[in-house]
Each structure stands twice: as C-alpha cells, then as structure tokens.
Amino acid sequence: MRVQLGRQLLDRQIVDADGVLLGKVDDVEFAVDERGLPYVAYLLTGQGALGRRIGGRVGRLLVALADRFTEEASAPLRIPLRQVARIDSAVRLRARADELPRPPVETWLRRHLIDRIPGADRASG
C-alpha cells in the first residue's frame, strides 16, 4: 500500500476515541523493519515537530519557542501508528487522550501557569 503522506497524514486533525481534538499531525517518524524497509512508526504533533518540518527561520523560531516552554528539547508528542483506528477527514485514534502522554508544551504551561491560577483545580479539562 502506497501512502501519500502529504495528503493522507500531514496537517490532519488528530481525534481521540472520545472525539477530543488532540492537535494536528505535524510530522511523522520512520523506523526500519527487519528487511530494511522504512515504515511510519509514529505521528508527531507539537511546535518542535512542526518547526523541524517547516525549516528555515520560521521553523527555527517554532523550535526555539517549544524549547523555551519544555524541559525536554522541543520533544513532540509521539503517537504510535498502532494507535490509529482509521484515517478519514481526521486521524482517529483507538486511545483516549488521558491514555496518551501530554504534549510537553501543555505540561509546562499547566505546571508553570494554569495550576497557579486560583480555582484552576476545579476547572474542567
């Protein structure tokens, strides 16, 4: 099966099993099987992944912003391809959002900003 990544994966919305929007597919990560053939192993989402895909000044700026707001150097959220249930107008996952790691920028913002807001622990989310 031939996959045209540009049309079938990149920039598609990622939706969890409950219909919660998780972001967009900003890039993909390849692996190589035992026969030496490449395959898509992970979908990547986050400013760091998008910045590396775009490249140039704008890409470097996105990576720098992601690095500023994360402990790990612009590590994207990596979603294993085996978690994908189907691809149609969006990439629909088998997993729920709470079963996946939180995106690093979201984790940093929650720890350093949102959790410090009075009453934030009672907010839905």
34 pLDDT more than 90 = yes
2 pLDDT more than 60 = no
The pLDDT, as a whole number, for residue 53 is 72
Question: What are the DSSP calls for the chain, one per residue?
Answer: ----HHHHTTT-EEE-TTS-EEEE--EEEEEE-TTS-EEEEEEEESHHHHHHHH-HHHHHHHHHHHHHT-SSTTPPEEEEGGGEEEESSSEEESS-GGGSPPPHHHHHHHHHTGGGSTTGGGS--
Q: How confident is the model at residue 16 (pLDDT cuts 50, 70, 90)?
A: very high
Bridge partners for 42 per DSSP: 29, 80
The pLDDT, as a whole number, for residue 1 is 44
113 pLDDT more than 90 = no
Give me the helix-helix angle, 56-68 and 47-54, nearest 10°: 160
Write out pLDDT tens, residues 49-108.
Answer: 776 777 788 777 777 776 666 665 556 788 999 999 999 999 999 999 888 876 666 666
- pTM to 2 decimals? 0.67
